[in-house]
Amino acid sequence: MAVLAGDVVGYSRLVGTDEEQTIQNWTACREYICEVVSDYQGRLFNTAGDSLVFEFASVLDALRCAVEIQRFLRDVNSGVPEERQLLMRFGLHLGDLVVDRENYLGDGINVAARLESLAKPGGICVSDMVYSNVANSPEFTFEDLGDRELKNIARPMRVYRLALDKVETASMTQAAEKSAEVAADDLPTVAVLPFDNLGGNPADDYFVDGLTEDIITALAAWRSFPVIARNSTFAYKGKSPDVRTVARDLGARYVLEGSIRKDGNRVRVNVQFIDAANGHHLWAVKFDRELEDVFALQDEITHHIAATVAPEVERAERDRASAVRPKDMTAWAYCLKGRALLEEFTAEGNASAREMFEKAIALDPAYGEGYVGLAFSHQRDLWFEFTRGREQTIQALLAAARQAVTIDPANSEAHCILGFGMIWDRQFHLAIAAGEQAVQLNPSNATAFAQLGIASSFAGRPMDGIAHLERSLRLNPQDPRIHFSITMVARAHLNARNPEEAARWAERATHRRADYPLGHLVLASALGHLGRREEARAALSECERLDPGFALRWALRPMYKDPADDLYFLDGLRLAGLETTAEIA
């Protein structure tokens, strides 16, 4: 957890000089600071007078937030006599937090506070742990202050001072000054405009504005693209701006807009997702619902939109990146090409995808998406048996996923692929923990729910697994890989000793993707347990036709925590006609 501690320099002196004005100025500044922290997904958890302590899931977000606050205060102090200036200093550290009743304790707070005392007025000091996480980022330049003795800290700590005057980015916020001519190396920014209240009743504004804010928050959980902050987009409330004008003003590449009409107890929501460069609609959806539970309705609509917009951004960006010359490609563009190659589901495509992710990492080692993609390429190698060195591939997957989590602890996809790695490594409790973290960070991530469902099922909790997998299907019903999740639901029902439901879901999977051998294999086992021998043999035969030897390899591979679950799956296949005297390895 990244802990940012700050206080006002000479606050007691300022209060002694002009108490009323100082308190008024500090109150206004603190309100703005808390808004900025919220924009960067941070949280205030400790305040005492002029001191503030915040926590962030991402160390990069914490540092960027501190930079923005210092720039804001610099502007506030412009023209103010030096003795009246309101200056802050910050310390940033990565460390643990412990909750003791209503108090937060731990190494993270103590070290951050000591670092803050070493910072100059208007400055920022960071620990060696923070420095090692952000040193490769071209945004920041640091001055090495050497090892320092910190009060009540047992060992000396190396301290670094951020050179604020050398921070390269012109603005850390997604602010209105940004040009709409987004450079080829910028991430695709999304702006969510305030939804229109077509019903005309001002009493419904709370629902309309609440839905817009929820969507902004949900989209911000996707770490692959930035989302314009609420305080910028809500300036357009009540207006009907051209989306291209909005894009130019906010520096957005894509705009999400919508309208809500409430009629009695019925609500209609229309949403459009637009490429701001040409005004083309990339995606649109309509919801017609009964307004029984306003919060449940907001959650349903929010997560559906967030789960759909993310792949639409990626799809549009892939088309854009295809026109970029190789010498102009950025880490983001390499990741896009890598993800496109992953979707080929071939050994050659997977190998090429890995090259793209490795190029992204070489270009920007601090960009976690490169390691996420690299880990997913190893996952594909394992699932489709493209690798000859299974154990080495599992360890390579885990290494890449752990690096992704280290770089960006708030990246849901990073925790998700780490969870998949833990499944392959048969560390099921860790796989579930990673999945739970992934869905907590991004409740719109359908893949994370699928991973948590698979981990739960293999760990011997099939009913939990079914619930998570079905949530995944609801979040992204148009996923081209949906046959995989449906097959996993079937397998979870089989693990719950419900072969009838397993057969029903497996049939759905084979109808969705007739050339997917695992769907036919799960169907064969379920039908075998149901005594439908002819149908079971036909399913097993089709599996073998699609991939000779697949049935035996997967039947004898231990997948579950409890060997009895593996044996139940194998027994169903034996009843379907699989001939083997071998035991599960």
Which CATH number describes the domain made up of 190-321? 3.40.50.10610
Count how many Cα atoms sit within 13 Å of the Cα of residue 144 in the half-sphere of its side chain: 6
Average pLDDT (404-416) is 90
Local confidence band at 320 (pLDDT 50, 70, 90 cut-offs): low
- What is the rounded radius of gyration, in angstroms, for the C-alpha atoms of the chain? 27
Residue 336: per-residue pLDDT? 83
* CATH number, domain 481-585, options 1.25.40.10, 3.30.70.2170, 1.10.3720.10, 3.20.20.10: 1.25.40.10
Asked if pLDDT for residue 185 goes beyond 70, the answer is: no
Closest CA to 11 of 44, 47, 62: 47
Q: Pull the structure tokens for residue 468.
A: 């998570």
**pLDDT tens by residue, 51-90:** 888 888 788 888 989 998 988 888 788 777 888 888 999 9
Instruction: For the chain, give every domain's residue range.
Output: 2-166, 190-321, 481-585
Local confidence band at 549 (pLDDT 50, 70, 90 cut-offs): very high
Q: Classify strands 190-192 and 254-263 as parallel, antiparallel or unpaired.
A: parallel
Per DSSP, the three-state class of 251 is coil
Return d(Cα 200, Cα 274) in angstroms, integer. Answer: 25
Average pLDDT (233-248) is 78
Residue 422: per-residue pLDDT? 95
The domain defined by 2-166 folds into: Alpha-Beta Plaits (3.30.70)
Give percent of the chain with pLDDT exceeding 70: 91
> Torsions phi, psi of 234, nearest 5?
-75, -5
The one-letter amino acid at 576 = A
**pLDDT tens by residue, 321-372:** 554 544 446 788 888 888 888 888 899 999 999 999 999 999 888 888 899 9
Residue 326: per-residue pLDDT? 47
